[in-house]
Amino acid sequence: MYDLCIIGAGMIGSAAARHATVTSGLNTCLIGPTEPKNRGYDKTSGIYGSYFDEGRITRCMDKDAVWSTLARESIQRYRDLEQQSGIKFYQEVGNLMIGGRSYLNKTDEVASRNAIPTQKLDIKLLKQRFPYLRLTEDTNGRMETKKAGYVNPRRMVKAQKTMAAKQGCTIIDDVVNHVTRIVQSDGSYVMLIKTEKGLSIWSKKVLLATGAFTTFRDVLPDVRPEQIISPLLVSLLEVEEANLKMFTKMPCIIYYGRANEVWQVPASHKTKDEISFYMMPPIKYPNGKYYIKLGLRDAASSESIKTPVDVTKWFKEGNKVTAKHVTNFAKSLFDGVDFKSWQTDSCVITETPTTHPYIDMIHAQLGVAIGGNGFAAKSSDEIGRLGVSMMTSQWDSTIPRDILKFKLLPTYPSEYKVTTLKGKL
């Protein structure tokens, strides 16, 4: 019998496992599949993680104070986690927010509130520092240098799981198919977890960190979160080693604003007046090549992900037409730069109507830490910690719990109705 079972061994789940074992001394298990060796031909669980990658932007500066706070609390623990685990995953290369005045005003407000040091850059300074970018004359920027940059999500998860295991967490490489609350003869409750490999695991409490797959397995019986699963394609532009010097001081970049006229915005994109993308400096991937990665929001909005088959197919195949459009857009951002080759990768974003994660209790034995909205990687350590804090009734964040409250689909009753079965250990 475990005190706490965490289902989902990605960035949030692995962080929760570490915090559960180090801060609360709980007898904890973490259940989730490891990354398949070959995504395109994996015929087993069909469970994938968006963390199967080499780079995610991390920064405190944000237009939303909640995400800024979650990131700040997470980032301050990165170096300790690296040192304790012996696994490096954090590169402090800085982050540049660029775009229109309205967007930057919001980031300035949050930066002031959370005491985040930033540097203002007008178009003249932007062109001097980043001559390879094509920007409109009305573009402005905010540079965050301290504690901003990127993390390697694969290595970060490895670091979290390494420390969780050292601290006594049992890690099970499996997929959970069913979670049920059982009422025992003495009136007490326990959770029964059944896995794809045939295991039956008993735990006093369960925390779900199951991301986009939350509704595709029977882990949240009788309850459905209000969320949208959105597909996202990223383009990887290969940079020749001879050209790496050009990008030596390139930070991570996030853009919100109007498109430059020379940018090749995909015809399927909603509007050229509201472009949102992120871009990362050259990162060395497992194949030995260096890639600049770009993700363009709303570029794959025509795709529909509503079933397990849909999400698995998207992770495996993506969309070749959209991939080419995103890559053409990525290339058009650069002036005088030729890229050796390109490839694409796919992931999914779980979007909530609050734009914030759900960190909430379904009932006294079952909690959730889901709904990343495309921003959770950098904040995963704090989201995982808060999930454990919630499960132990020791919430200690400046963020009010109501802001992170779970929302049901409108078709479901206003009160959670969860089936409880009779049984015994």
Please name which of 152, 130, 151, 157 lies closest in space to residue 141, comparing C-alpha atoms: 130
- CB-based contacts of 413, cutoff 8 Å, min separation 6: none
* pLDDT at residue 306, rounded to an integer: 80
CA distance 63 to 359: 20
**Which pLDDT band holds residue 156 (cuts at 50, 70, 90)?**
very high
Residue 318 has pLDDT above 90, yes or no: no
What does the pLDDT look like over 61-97, one tens digit per residue? Answer: 999 999 999 999 999 999 999 999 999 999 999 999 9
Superfamily of domain 2-52+154-226+354-422, CATH level 4: FAD/NAD(P)-binding domain (3.50.50.60)
* pLDDT at residue 75, rounded to an integer: 97
Residue 145 has pLDDT above 70, yes or no: yes
On whether the CB atoms of residues 359 and 372 are closer than 8 A, the answer is: no
* pLDDT at residue 386, rounded to an integer: 97
Residue 395 has pLDDT above 80, yes or no: yes
What does the pLDDT look like over 39-57, one tens digit per residue? Answer: 554 445 566 667 788 999 9
Domain boundaries, the chain: 2-52+154-226+354-422, 95-144+228-351
Average pLDDT over the chain, rounded to an integer: 88
Q: What are phi and psi of 172, to 5 degrees?
A: -115, 120
CA distance 375 to 378: 7
What DSSP string describes 212-280?
A: GGTTTTBTSTT--B--EEEEEEEEEEEE-GGGGGGGTT--EEEEEEPPPTTS---TTSS-TTSEEEEE-
Least trusted range by pLDDT, from 76-80, 277-281, 288-292, 348-352: 348-352
Residue 148 has pLDDT above 90, yes or no: yes
CA distance 39 to 50: 12
Residue 116 has pLDDT above 60, yes or no: yes
Side-chain half-sphere exposure of 122, counting CA atoms within 13 A? 1
What does the pLDDT look like over 187-201, one tens digit per residue? Answer: 889 999 999 999 999
Burial of 186 (0-12, 13-18, 19+ CB in 10 A): exposed
On whether the CB atoms of residues 365 and 204 are closer than 8 A, the answer is: yes
* pLDDT at residue 345, rounded to an integer: 85
What does the pLDDT look like over 227-247, one tens digit per residue? Answer: 988 888 889 999 998 889 999
* pLDDT at residue 215, rounded to an integer: 85
* pLDDT at residue 314, rounded to an integer: 81
- Specify the CATH number of the domain 95-144+228-351: 3.30.9.10
* pLDDT at residue 425, rounded to an integer: 52
* pLDDT at residue 47, rounded to an integer: 65
Looking at residues 161-183, what average pLDDT do you find?
95
